[in-house]
Amino acid sequence: MLRTQTRTIPLLRLIRYNSTTVVRDPVTIIPTVYELTQDKDVTPETDPDTSLLEYLQSRHLVESLTDDNLYKLTKRDSDYKFKLYCGADPTAESLHLGNLLPLMVLLHFRMCGNDVVEDNVSKIQNQISTFLSNGIEYAKSRQFPMTQPIGEKFSVNNASWWDGIKMLEFLATYGRHIRLGGIGYNEFTYQILQAYDFWHLYKDHGVNMQVGGNDQWGNITAGIDLISRVKKSFGKEKEAFGVTVPLLTTASGEKFGKSAGNAVFIDSKMTTPYQMYQYFINVPDDIVGTLLKAFTLLPLNVIEGELLPKHTSDPGLRIAQRVLAREVVDLIHGVGVGDEMAYITGFLFPTPDQPFNDNVSADKLIENFKRSGIMFERTKPSPEEEIKLSSVLADITGKSKSEMKRLIKAGGVYLGLDRNQIEDPDDVILFDVDHHLIDGKLLLVRVGKQNYYVVEYK
């Protein structure tokens, strides 16, 4: 089977929410999608003489193919249709950015009229389903050319075919067709099980392509080999194919994923949209072009001919990183969330030459913070309650009362739009809804230089 040389994409280690390296440039410098794409010819994105796989390779989304014939079968004017699936770790709490490359491949194939199988693990399935739905809305919002009706997405559960199988019967029927050497029993068994999953999806659901990380090459080819050996006895003729994507690695060369301990998760409860935005505006210049091609649907001629030159002319503004952050957050969390995270970043980290409008209303801020994952709610205390401000802040920040008193005494706690420093060395100030909340609704707290806490009081 054909396989090209492995290529890795280096990435920065995850920068957490309380990082001290958050970029402070104002949000107004980010060009809109319209500004980037107006009067641009996007027909190269749907060139009938270019296969979909060649196009995906130009976007750094495809590493290896199991068959050169895929180039011909994925020509824009080809009538050949695929049904694709991409397996995921069933024990994982969430997908992460390491899964985003194969998901982008699924999205591109679906936009070209091919059907996609969602993963069979409930939580992961929901995330894939949401990604594929958000991806289509994101593509429409960017006016990404789609020349075919959007493909279907459907769910299957491998428990439906594994529950009734007897091990001896399975080994007698399929085990003899699988030849694997030089690997441990656990890896060998996993390849057998995954190969059978591919065979069952092929036989009963017409799935003829598996997409996975480059480290899944052996598992994918084992499935294709099993299919080729047994399909004729079941009256099947259609070929099965595999496509792998590059491995994501950190700057130090470590595999990028949950096991590496530095993952950015798709689940907004594990990595908030705000954290994801901050991650992407901090990626290094030498990789931002590759990530714009792989993780967005901006036309290639816009990325190469407009955005990257604009970025190169003044790298300090980090235009490319800001656009990347907005696009990926929109793709994963829904159209509009990226702009909200950009607005929040500009609000929390204004610059002296472009200060944020301090007349902004609490309602405006709440609307933009609503989907950020960093704003939470508290019940507004009654007028009769006397609560020390230090106690309220300790509750909000998760710090002990003694630690909060120490921070306040040291002058490290600030409140409100103007980030006024709290002066309360004797711990006597009471929490005052009218005085401490913006418009009586929103509490904005900064501890130190970078750590913000945003609380809506109801």
Q: What is the pLDDT of residue 239?
A: 96
SS3 labels along 14-69 = CCCCCCCCCCCCCHHHCCCHHHHHCCCCCHHHHCCCCEHHHHHHHCCCCCEECCCH
3 within domain boundaries: no
What CATH number does residue 387 fall under?
3.10.290.10
The domain boundary, picked from 358, 390, 407, lies at 358
The domain boundary, picked from 333, 358, 383, lies at 358
Structure tokens at 263: 């993952």
3-state secondary structure of 196: helix
Question: Do 320 and 433 belong together in one domain?
Answer: no
Largest CA distance in the chain: 85
CB 155 within 8 A of CB 130: no
Q: Rounded to an integer, what is the distance from CA 331 to the centroid of its chain?
A: 8
Question: Do 234 and 141 belong together in one domain?
Answer: yes
User: What is the domain extent for residue 429?
Assistant: 372-457
Q: Whose CA is closest to 332, among 168, 147, 99? A: 99
341 within domain boundaries: yes
Structure tokens at 197: 């999953």
Give the tens place of pLDDT for each residue, 236-281. Answer: 999 999 999 998 765 667 665 444 456 889 999 999 999 999 999 9
Question: Do 242 and 379 belong together in one domain?
Answer: no
Question: Do 97 and 183 belong together in one domain?
Answer: yes
The domain boundary, picked from 324, 358, 392, lies at 358
Average pLDDT over residues 207-231: 93
The yes-or-no verdict on residue 99 having pLDDT over 50 is yes
Question: Do 452 and 326 belong together in one domain?
Answer: no
Q: What is the pLDDT of residue 46?
A: 64
Residue 40 or 176, more confident: 40
Task: Please state, in angstroms and rounded to a whole number, the distance separating the CA atoms of residues 64 and 69.
Answer: 13
The yes-or-no verdict on residue 183 having pLDDT over 70 is no
Question: Do 182 and 105 belong together in one domain?
Answer: yes
H/E stretch holding 301: helix 300-302
Task: Please state, in angstroms and rounded to a whole number, the distance separating the CA atoms of residues 87 and 284.
Answer: 30
269 within domain boundaries: yes
Structure tokens at 230: 């047994």
Handedness of CA 32, 34, 37, 38 (dihedral sign): negative
What confidence tier does 162 reach under pLDDT thresholds 50, 70, 90? Answer: low
Domain count, the chain: 2
Q: What is the pLDDT of residue 5?
A: 43
Question: Do 396 and 426 belong together in one domain?
Answer: yes
CB 224 within 8 A of CB 241: yes
Question: Do 193 and 98 belong together in one domain?
Answer: yes
365 within domain boundaries: no
Q: Whose CA is closest to 391, among 381, 399, 401? A: 401
Question: Do 302 and 408 belong together in one domain?
Answer: no
Question: Do 280 and 405 belong together in one domain?
Answer: no
Buried b (16+ CB within 10 A) or exposed e, 46-73: beeebbbbebbeebbbbbbbbbeebeeb
19 within domain boundaries: no
Q: What is the pLDDT of residue 212?
A: 93
Give the tens place of pLDDT for each residue, 15-58. Answer: 333 333 333 334 456 888 778 877 766 655 667 678 999 999 99
What CATH number does residue 172 fall under?
3.40.50.620
Name residue 364's amino acid.
Answer: K
Q: What is the pLDDT of residue 161?
A: 57
Question: Do 327 and 212 belong together in one domain?
Answer: yes
Question: Do 327 and 405 belong together in one domain?
Answer: no
428 within domain boundaries: yes
Q: What is the pTM of this model?
A: 0.82
The yes-or-no verdict on residue 312 having pLDDT over 90 is yes
Let me know how long the chain is.
Answer: 458
